[in-house]
Amino acid sequence: MTEHRFEADVSRVLRLVVESLYSNREIFLRELISNAADALDKLRFRALSEPHLLAEGEALALRLIPDRDAGTLTIADDGVGMTAEELAKNLGTIAHSGSRELVERLGGAGDAKARLELIGQFGVGFYSAFLVASRVEVTSRAAGEAGAHRWSCEGGDTFVVEPAERASRGTSVVLTLKPEQRELLEPWRLRELVRQWSDFVPHPIELAVTREVGEGEERRHELAFERVNTASALWQRPAREVEREQYVELYKHLTHDWEEPLAWRHFHIEGTQMFSGIVYVPRRPPVDLFARETHHGVRLHVRRVLVLESAEELVPRWLRFVRGVVDSEDLPLNVSRELLQDSRAVRVIEKQLVVQTLDLLDELARDRPDDYALFWRAFGAVLKEGLHFAPEHRERLARLARFRSTRGDGLVTLDAYVEKMPLVQPAIYYVVGPTEAALAASPHLEALRERGWEVLLLTDPVDTFAVAGLREHGGKPLADAAASGVKLPESEDAEAHKARASASAPLLERIQRALGERVSAVRASERLVGSPACLVLPEGGVAPHVERMLRASSVELPPQRRALEVNLEHPWLQRLQARLDAGADAGELDASVLLLHEQALLAEGSPVEDPAALARKLAELVAAQG
Ligand code: ADP
């Protein structure tokens, strides 16, 4: 017998789960049935390559065995089972990444509802057993092994794994129910819970019941098994016969999410390939949506048999939030990763899943705009990757995209933007930056703001690539308002501006000399109204915050220099001009020019070269002027 101590995080999660989920305690049964059904699926799948594991024609089942005398409820399956090591690992750590993060966030989450949502996001599966049980015993014999082991725990900080007996392959979870949970031993209660939570589980769920048999002297009790679920594959049925609740329960079964999905779509495809499926959009993003190593994809069945938990090949990465199931009539049962990668059949399914998902999103945007906004906040940044990676869907994605803009708090579509554009406005303007607040105040937008022209504020890292993929909408080009070549509104007195710029050529040269390599050019600006200067990107340049991000993740980039645009109307520039005219020495002017450059960096939210030196200069200035 070996006593193990849970990782500190696990025992805390365990306690928090019991506290937070108490009023939803029935979900324990769905979680345990789900695990048992997965174990049956895994066995069937392994038997494809190791046929000795499963006898010809052997039926797989899942059993619920209430024992009133012992006060226990057993959930038994003849699935893959677990070895001693697997028992300790699978049930001693939280399977999902980030249990520490869960604990931290649970600690911070205020009310019960917030906690519940968080737990749903992480999923705690097996541990929900402790909602109703004071002791949990898991006896398991792994497929192909001779011996069995038992894992047991009484809800404290430790658990035990020891050798045990089990006649055949599979797992039995024995729950010693807390006294107030003994209702769970009643057959009617168990039937009700199975129908409510697990009806479509694609394996028979059998309930042990005692029946009276025989007459008179011969009368005795006999144990019998009664089938309690319908176990038909939901996605095979015509959509009109499936109820809303059933879609929701299937989703929860597939994803272990405790929240309802935001939307779904059920489809049957007939043609060169025959398959059915359901795609779901979750309500909330998983914690690892932007991690490089996330798994995604839908569950793949072939003629009802589960063959892959998450087939990434069926869903492009820019739809990695999609969950669901696909059941193919044509793929071979022993599909391998290699086959998935270069099968034509798989391409057909993938294409169809993309179309179904885009249809689903169109519908959601049209019929339930508030929910669509919720979707966009959760997954918009992922969907936008499609603008870059899936040019064939550019039009549809452009219509699905939503943006924040200088006009108001809501989200705007490109169609709405174009509709509101004044005739003289030549382009759809956007700026890319780290935060909306910094962008909205950006000096680059002054000329546009003065005319009341709307500018899209892009703050997602993916935006630079998304707008490059987008290029234009409704016949109007997209233009980066912070780039040097951007077409800006003609200023009212263009002639006067030109004259002033040429008169100021010596000043611009002086500034260029003072800044040297820091800038690529110095120009008189037409876009500035209230600010003295701003830095502009070369055409197709990478926004400074994106550049910093890329460099930080060791992406090699050629050095990028920007041009300084100065506002000749601004008192700062006029003073520089006056001092130049009065023959001020270069050193004196240069200090002011360097400051001008640094304040342009500050205004756009970029770091300055030497903050301490800047602070010193500021202090000197204020001290000198009072
Ligand atoms: P999840 O099911 O979300 O991965 P759980 O905490 O519910 O998380 O279960 C942890 C792991 O324990 C499962 O991934 C599975 O490998 C294993 N497991 C749980 N129940 C069973 C079972 N009845 N048969 C075989 N393995 C199981």
218-252 pLDDT tens trace:
888 888 999 998 877 889 999 999 999 999 989 98
Gap from CA of 247 to ligand 1 centroid (Å):
23
3-state per-residue secondary structure call for 69-100? CCCEEEEEECCCCCCHHHHHHHHHCCCCCCHH
Three-class DSSP category at 393: helix
How large a percentage of the chain has pLDDT more than 90? 50
Say which CATH number the domain at 429 has: 3.40.50.11260
| The pLDDT value given to residue 278 | 97
* Test site for ligand 1: of 14, 126, 172, most ligand atoms within 8 A of the Cβ: 126
- Are residue 402 and residue 331 in the same domain, yes or no? no
Average pLDDT of span 537-546: 81
| The pLDDT value given to residue 175 | 98
Average pLDDT of span 344-351: 90
| The pLDDT value given to residue 166 | 95
Residue 400 in this model has a pLDDT that exceeds 60: yes
Residue 23 in this model has a pLDDT that exceeds 50: yes
Gap from CA of 39 to ligand 1 centroid (Å):
8
3-state per-residue secondary structure call for 588-625? HHHHHHHHHHHHHHHHCCCCCCCHHHHHHHHHHHHHHH
Tokens of 425: 């406005």
Please check whether residue 176 lies inside any domain of the structure. yes
* Test site for ligand 1: of 75, 86, 90, 141, most ligand atoms within 8 A of the Cβ: 90
Average pLDDT over the chain, rounded to whole? Answer: 87
Tokens of 530: 């209230």
Residue 9 in this model has a pLDDT that exceeds 50: yes
Tokens of 418: 């174009």
CB 500 within 8 A of CB 526: no
pLDDT tens across 129-147, in order?
Answer: 998 999 999 999 999 999 9
In which residue are the tokens 């008189």 written?
A: 524
Report the alpha-carbon angle 43-46-51, nearest 5: 100
Average pLDDT of span 520-528: 90
Please check whether residue 509 lies inside any domain of the structure. yes
More confident residue, 497 or 517: 517
- Are residue 340 and residue 439 in the same domain, yes or no? no
Domain's final residue, options 373, 402, 422: 373
CB 301 within 8 A of CB 233: yes
Gap from CA of 250 to ligand 1 centroid (Å):
18
82 lines ligand 1 (CB under 6 A): yes
80 lines ligand 1 (CB under 6 A): yes
Tokens of 142: 């792994």
Atom of ligand 1 nearest to the CA of 127: 6
pLDDT tens across 570-600, in order?
Answer: 999 999 999 999 988 878 889 899 999 999 9
Of the CA atoms within 13 Å of residue 247, those in its CB half-sphere come to 24
Please check whether residue 491 lies inside any domain of the structure. no
Which has the closest alpha carbon to 404: 369, 427, 371, 437? 437
324 lines ligand 1 (CB under 6 A): no
* Test site for ligand 1: of 38, 46, 124, most ligand atoms within 8 A of the Cβ: 38
532 lines ligand 1 (CB under 6 A): no
95 lines ligand 1 (CB under 6 A): yes
Band (195; pLDDT cuts 50, 70, 90): confident
Least confident of 339-343, 429-433, 585-589: 339-343
- Are residue 586 and residue 524 in the same domain, yes or no? yes
- Are residue 36 and residue 133 in the same domain, yes or no? yes
Please check whether residue 164 lies inside any domain of the structure. yes
Which has the closest alpha carbon to 241: 209, 275, 276, 203? 276
Say which CATH number the domain at 578 has: 1.20.120.790
Pairing of strands 158-164, 148-153: antiparallel
Q: Which residue's alpha carbon is at the smallest distance from atom 23 of ligand 1?
A: 36
Please check whether residue 543 lies inside any domain of the structure. no
Domain's final residue, options 194, 227, 260: 227
Q: Alpha-carbon distance 37 to 57, whole Å? A: 18
172 lines ligand 1 (CB under 6 A): no
pLDDT tens across 42-99, in order?
Answer: 998 888 889 899 888 788 889 999 999 999 999 999 999 999 999 998 887 754 445 5
Domains in the chain: how many in total?
4
Least confident of 35-39, 122-126, 135-139: 122-126
171 lines ligand 1 (CB under 6 A): yes
Please check whether residue 547 lies inside any domain of the structure. no
Please check whether residue 550 lies inside any domain of the structure. no
- Are residue 337 and residue 452 in the same domain, yes or no? no
| The pLDDT value given to residue 96 | 47
- Are residue 206 and residue 175 in the same domain, yes or no? yes
Least confident of 131-135, 179-183, 339-343, 406-410: 339-343
Pairing of strands 533-536, 519-524: unpaired
- Are residue 160 and residue 270 in the same domain, yes or no? no
Residue 263 in this model has a pLDDT that exceeds 50: yes
Gap from CA of 42 to ligand 1 centroid (Å):
11
Domain's final residue, options 315, 343, 373: 373
pTM, entire model: 0.71
Element containing residue 520 per DSSP (H, E): strand 519-524
- Are residue 239 and residue 142 in the same domain, yes or no? no
Say how far residue 620 (Cα) sits from the centre of its chain. Answer: 49
Please check whether residue 549 lies inside any domain of the structure. no
Q: What is the identity of the amino acid at 558?
A: P
Gap from CA of 567 to ligand 1 centroid (Å):
65
Q: Alpha-carbon distance 446 to 25, whole Å? A: 57
- Are residue 238 and residue 352 in the same domain, yes or no? yes
Cα dihedral sign for 324, 329, 335, 337?
Answer: negative
Q: Alpha-carbon distance 357 to 371, whole Å? A: 15
Cα dihedral sign for 493, 497, 498, 500?
Answer: positive
More confident residue, 398 or 410: 398
- Are residue 169 and residue 33 in the same domain, yes or no? yes
Atom of ligand 1 nearest to the CA of 256: 3
Residue 411 in this model has a pLDDT that exceeds 50: yes
Least confident of 165-169, 197-201, 420-424, 579-583: 197-201
pLDDT tens across 294-335, in order?
Answer: 678 899 888 777 778 788 889 999 999 999 999 998 887 667
> What is the domain extent for residue 471?
384-480
Q: Which residue's alpha carbon is at the smallest distance from atom 11 of ligand 1?
A: 90
- Are residue 255 and residue 310 in the same domain, yes or no? yes
- Are residue 408 and residue 366 in the same domain, yes or no? no
Residue 110 in this model has a pLDDT that exceeds 70: no
